[in-house]
Structure 1
């Protein structure tokens, strides 16, 4: 499982973003799509949240941004988006584990191959744009190649000699955020220093406790670039830490209906404590105008200890069924012995080295590349035992970790790819892609805390060739058709056994685009056929068999649907009124009876809403005053596969419709003020039931802010 010493030394020391799919020489702007205009020409479906939308909305919750895009599903959890659950098309949402998550082109999941659940997610406030790429072109990236790629583009180094920004906002629940940076470019050198500081008391009230339900987040980033002649270098360092009084324990449905923002007192000592640091170095060399070489590398480390109640879901489930003793324990009126609070402590590392070359050969834009990657997760999780006495928690003992709480998992992966963007003629553009993934994973599980005995060992090896092809064809100046097909792949993770096969799928899409002056319309149908649909099990998103680690194979399934986008700008006197619409219809279900899992043809897949929609209406007076209204709808979702054919209660979330607004006014060229109201009509619903009960979205929240640029 070990790499050669030279490769290991290089990969451990270096680190960096993947070079842009666009063939430019600006190594600092690492994008996989580029601009809104380019997104509307990709030979595959794509979407972009641009710098203007980010500037006006000042988003802090990635979930709310993702709801504005077609083909993207969000399963909310804490109301703040601290640990997002995002799915794209056929990739379900749990911890973003089946989406390739990138920041500036670098994989950002703590252990993308062995443990892809994204318990770390980059701070949204320091991002300048968000890109989502779907369809066959996503084969340039990996390892998750079924649903889509999510790339977060961070604040770029300013082009001026010295410039920067200080943004501060204050909101309800004693919330305040600061985003500040300074940077510039002088000759060949450029730099950026940036920080985000966030804190809040949270919107939930904890029974019998003086502790709030909020968070404290600090994030720091530094960049240094050198760009002269054919040489392009970028170094990036990032560090963040978070303390949040978050829990997995939700509410019974009856308690949710009475007070949706309540938290039970037995969760009062639950707390997440984590830190992340990442380092990256990228080097680009322009051999000629037509040939460019790139070497990039990255190293990310993430440590977390989520101290929280274990097994609280069984109490909620029993109380939902009318168990008065379980309800009394939740309410604090019933004493309880042996409550287990686990230090869900894990340390992750991932590092890799990537080489690529772009070659413009006539009508062919070729790219060749490869990546050598290693990641690992060390889980060492002692359990503290408490009794509940007269509504208070009393410490009793600590249990040393063993078995599933004491293990190391890891993976080594080699990826190779070749892509060709071929401009066949003026009307036809073809994208060809071939990717190869070779993955070896392992797990060492120990029976005692000292780890002196021989561990229980399991491993898995798999390799897949992943071909894809897509095209766009311009019928005329306004109309364009597109279509594509590619093979999707999802690695099994560190808990896989030798005989398990990775999830693969064949994915199709076909659509039509119309673009003329101030109007853009796109309709794309998609169809994904899975041979072995696989769930990645975690405590946050347990598999249907109850497992909280490893994988669970559901069998054959089909996910199909339709994505619609439309944008038109109206004029009303001096005002411009852009209107953006996004809608997705999705049907995801088991396609063949499975005697092993007990699932039947027609059983709905979990975490996939049938309908999602977003309408954003802007009002811009072209004189420094701009207003947004955002209407977001997400349908109910199955908590477990087959909720449509089950009589079990509490197996489905509720649909939700929320309206947000923001009004921003420029006092002068440097200073703007704004007011935001999230969830204007204070609509709350059961947006999630996993892992341990019903949980709400954030209630109505008012923000005021000031943005100063220099």
Structure 2
């Protein structure tokens, strides 16, 4: 090997070592010997279908349960292994290894979600190693990886246009000169929407913009990587989105209709990120420290009720024949009063975290110690208010009344997190033992009364143990057990509402080699207490932001993912993959709950929004200068409320089968064009009736785009 080649290999090794610190799964193609089911969606996979919607990206990840909402994935609802998908609040949501939810402890519902179009990798991690990424360890972690500062001049432009006036402009440019490197990236997407509001020509679409800058200074010496990096980002959205759906009868007649009462519904938010990273490595030790702050402000105005002592919106739309006058008012066919509520909130999340990896041999064994500590603070201020509007018989909303504040409170948390994990290699056996500690102090204030404070403290230690046995160089078996935990809300008294706790087990098989990868996992989650919280995205028929105990619940299932590539000719390959999930759940006791998605529970009932079966098939053709790929996604029937048998009448989401097609062609040099068709068979199904009525998924959508890399 030449000196130049050796220097290049060392450089790549250093880069891979750092990437392994900011990514959960790392960047190499070796067989992973730690426990925990994992999936890496690479940059190449993300570019194959050019998805903007994280729900579409996660279709190739086993064990993921999703409740769709608006068709564009603006506010995803993601759960793992049967955990509630509502606003992705049960998973540890991260960007570059740092918690990114608006207030991960105080209010974890992810009304902000990073734009997946600017990510270079998406990682899903479930099982025992979730201990490293708390506080939520029941389900697992989702890590989104942003573009790195390039080692040399690099840039790209991506322009696209599609159905419903969809457009995208995405560009990035960066360079490293001497010890200083930088990256500037911008992304803007918008669409007019695919729904039509009665008596109105207003669009039902959105605009989203995202700008990120990274500045890096290299302090490396003696062949060891050492640098500091500053990341700054700003994102904003305005979407004419609503929680108001349709009656089932109206959905069948015109699924993309919206009632006149929703004509002024609108979400606006903006988000800022400030992050300073320091990384240093030695021969057997590397340390990464991150100081971060995220600011998020949002207000969402939407139809909230028909006034006091009136039936709920969900009741009206579930049985319009019983509430004909109220239905006429919602649909703009009669005059009357409509109440619009604006949930105005601002959040802040900040902290400092240090993670180190230390490799050491002693007592004849190879050890890899992972140690981390994080001090984190976050808060949410709620300033919710309502205004009444007069609906005319012509379907127009008149001027609004004065604001009446309904919720004015603050929740805040100081949290110290610690984890220690030791991975021991004994020949073909790899043992990983770990423990996580969460020490939380939370405060709740009803700001209508400055003296109305609730303060509480809690601490918990979460152990984990896993083992991997290498049967051959490219495959092996693994098993693990860990304790799952989701903290309760700061405004909840722990004597009445407990934190969510579970003991989670898994056993599986993993293979990576000879162009063939697979992972098959059986899991069992034994909840000692299932916890849910009420949000407006689920229902208005409960006390918002309150928690509810669900008691003992068992969730079990199977996950499988297999991928490979056939060589059809010397110039034509066929990549393919199969992703399958089976999930089943059972409440272990009977009880009555005020949580609307539970209600009257009988032992043996299933949890809501858990399809028994999901299946995704991908097949493609790759030639020298073109690619063609087809994705088929099947989602089985889902219950919208807990229960079984006749109790589920009109409370079931039917199964669906959606096909997506993508093609790209390399024109010359670094110029290429692409075409994609989402939902090519124009599948029209109810994707949710929560919180208020039936809503459709995205109809067939065509997009054409052009890319230039330099």
Residues 684/44 of structure 1: CA separation in 2 closer, same or farther (3 Å cut): same
Whole-angstrom distance in 2 between the partners of 1:26 and 1:555: 42
Matches within 5 A, 1:295-444: 295-311=289-305, 314-321=312-319, 322=321, 323-337=323-337, 339-362=338-361, 363-390=366-393, 391-402=395-406, 405-425=407-427, 427-444=428-445
Other-structure match for 2:5: none
Other-structure match for 2:127: 135
SS in 1 for 2:22: coil
Larger mean CA deviation between 126-135 and 352-361 belongs to 352-361
Other-structure match for 2:667: 667
Residues 495/669 of structure 1: CA separation in 2 closer, same or farther (3 Å cut): farther
Other-structure match for 1:166: 157
**Are the equivalent residues in 1 in contact too, given 2:442–2:455 (CA < 8 A)?**
yes
Residues 581/35 of structure 1: CA separation in 2 closer, same or farther (3 Å cut): farther
Superposition CA RMSD, Å: 1.9
Whole-angstrom distance in 2 between the partners of 1:187 and 1:616: 43
Other-structure match for 2:9: none
Q: Deviations over 1:314-349 (max 9, x none)?
A: 235324321322221232112222x21112100000
**Are the equivalent residues in 2 in contact too, given 1:199–1:217 (CA < 8 A)?**
yes
Whole-angstrom distance in 1 between the partners of 2:649 and 2:420: 49
SS in 1 for 2:94: strand
Residues 651/586 of structure 1: CA separation in 2 closer, same or farther (3 Å cut): same
Deviation at 1:311, TM superposition (A): 2.7
Whole-angstrom distance in 1 between the partners of 2:209 and 2:284: 42
Q: Deviations over 1:201-247 (max 9, x none)?
A: 00111111121000111110000112232522111000011110001
Other-structure match for 1:481: 477
1:85 to 77, 97, 112: 77
Whole-angstrom distance in 1 between the partners of 2:456 and 2:527: 20
2:520 aligned with 1:528: no
Deviation at 1:669, TM superposition (A): 2.9
2:590 to 582, 589, 593: 593
Q: Deviations over 1:241-266 (max 9, x none)?
A: 11100011011111111111111110
Whole-angstrom distance in 2 between the partners of 1:494 and 1:653: 33
Whole-angstrom distance in 1 between the partners of 2:208 and 2:154: 25
Whole-angstrom distance in 2 between the partners of 1:542 and 1:463: 31
Other-structure match for 1:509: 506
**Are the equivalent residues in 2 in contact too, given 1:421–1:430 (CA < 8 A)?**
yes
2:288 aligned with 1:294: yes
Other-structure match for 1:558: 554
Under a length normalisation based on structure 1, what TM-score does the superposition of the two structures give? Answer: 0.92
Whole-angstrom distance in 1 between the partners of 2:19 and 2:472: 35
Segments of structure 1 that go 5 or more residues without pairing to the other structure are: 1-21, 448-452
SS in 1 for 2:313: helix
Other-structure match for 2:677: 677
Residues 39/490 of structure 1: CA separation in 2 closer, same or farther (3 Å cut): farther
Whole-angstrom distance in 2 between the partners of 1:135 and 1:386: 50
Under a length normalisation based on structure 2, what TM-score does the superposition of the two structures give? Answer: 0.92
Residues 633/596 of structure 1: CA separation in 2 closer, same or farther (3 Å cut): closer
**Are the equivalent residues in 2 in contact too, given 1:319–1:326 (CA < 8 A)?**
no
Other-structure match for 1:185: 176
2:100 aligned with 1:100: no
**Are the equivalent residues in 1 in contact too, given 2:16–2:26 (CA < 8 A)?**
no
Q: Deviations over 1:621-656 (max 9, x none)?
A: 1x12111100001122222222x2452533222221
SS in 1 for 2:250: helix
Other-structure match for 2:608: 606
Residues 251/39 of structure 1: CA separation in 2 closer, same or farther (3 Å cut): farther
Q: Deviations over 1:177-214 (max 9, x none)?
A: 01100001222221100100111100111111121000
Other-structure match for 1:153: 145
SS in 2 for 1:170: strand
Residues 264/474 of structure 1: CA separation in 2 closer, same or farther (3 Å cut): same
**Are the equivalent residues in 2 in contact too, given 1:461–1:498 (CA < 8 A)?**
no
2:545 aligned with 1:549: yes
SS in 2 for 1:26: helix
Whole-angstrom distance in 1 between the partners of 2:703 and 2:30: 33
Deviation at 1:513, TM superposition (A): 2.7
**Are the equivalent residues in 1 in contact too, given 2:289–2:355 (CA < 8 A)?**
yes
**Are the equivalent residues in 1 in contact too, given 2:345–2:382 (CA < 8 A)?**
yes
Q: Deviations over 1:261-315 (max 9, x none)?
A: 11111000000010000100011222x3112233211100000010111037923
1:33 to 13, 19, 25: 25
Whole-angstrom distance in 1 between the partners of 2:520 and 2:173: 41
Whole-angstrom distance in 1 between the partners of 2:489 and 2:26: 31
Other-structure match for 2:242: 247
Q: Deviations over 1:154-180 (max 9, x none)?
A: 1121221x2101001100001100110
Whole-angstrom distance in 2 between the partners of 1:80 and 1:663: 21
Other-structure match for 1:580: 577
Q: Deviations over 1:509-533 (max 9, x none)?
A: 0012344523333211000000110
Larger mean CA deviation between 308-317 and 209-218 belongs to 308-317
SS in 2 for 1:684: coil
Deviation at 1:24, TM superposition (A): 5.3
2:55 aligned with 1:63: yes
**Are the equivalent residues in 2 in contact too, given 1:133–1:149 (CA < 8 A)?**
yes
Other-structure match for 1:456: 452
Whole-angstrom distance in 2 between the partners of 1:547 and 1:331: 26
Whole-angstrom distance in 1 between the partners of 2:170 and 2:157: 6
Whole-angstrom distance in 2 between the partners of 1:66 and 1:379: 31
Whole-angstrom distance in 2 between the partners of 1:595 and 1:172: 46
Residues 446/130 of structure 1: CA separation in 2 closer, same or farther (3 Å cut): same
**Are the equivalent residues in 1 in contact too, given 2:31–2:474 (CA < 8 A)?**
no
Residues 464/23 of structure 1: CA separation in 2 closer, same or farther (3 Å cut): farther
Tell me how many residue pairs correspond in the alignment: 675
Whole-angstrom distance in 1 between the partners of 2:194 and 2:60: 24
Larger mean CA deviation between 89-98 and 502-511 belongs to 89-98
Whole-angstrom distance in 2 between the partners of 1:219 and 1:555: 42
**Are the equivalent residues in 2 in contact too, given 1:29–1:156 (CA < 8 A)?**
no
SS in 1 for 2:504: strand
Whole-angstrom distance in 2 between the partners of 1:35 and 1:356: 18
Matches within 5 A, 1:690-701: 690-701=690-701
Whole-angstrom distance in 2 between the partners of 1:414 and 1:292: 22
**Are the equivalent residues in 2 in contact too, given 1:632–1:657 (CA < 8 A)?**
yes
**Are the equivalent residues in 2 in contact too, given 1:27–1:232 (CA < 8 A)?**
no
Whole-angstrom distance in 1 between the partners of 2:28 and 2:686: 34
**Are the equivalent residues in 2 in contact too, given 1:316–1:326 (CA < 8 A)?**
no
Whole-angstrom distance in 2 between the partners of 1:129 and 1:29: 14
Deviation at 1:89, TM superposition (A): 0.8
Whole-angstrom distance in 2 between the partners of 1:332 and 1:645: 36
SS in 1 for 2:529: strand
SS in 1 for 2:551: strand
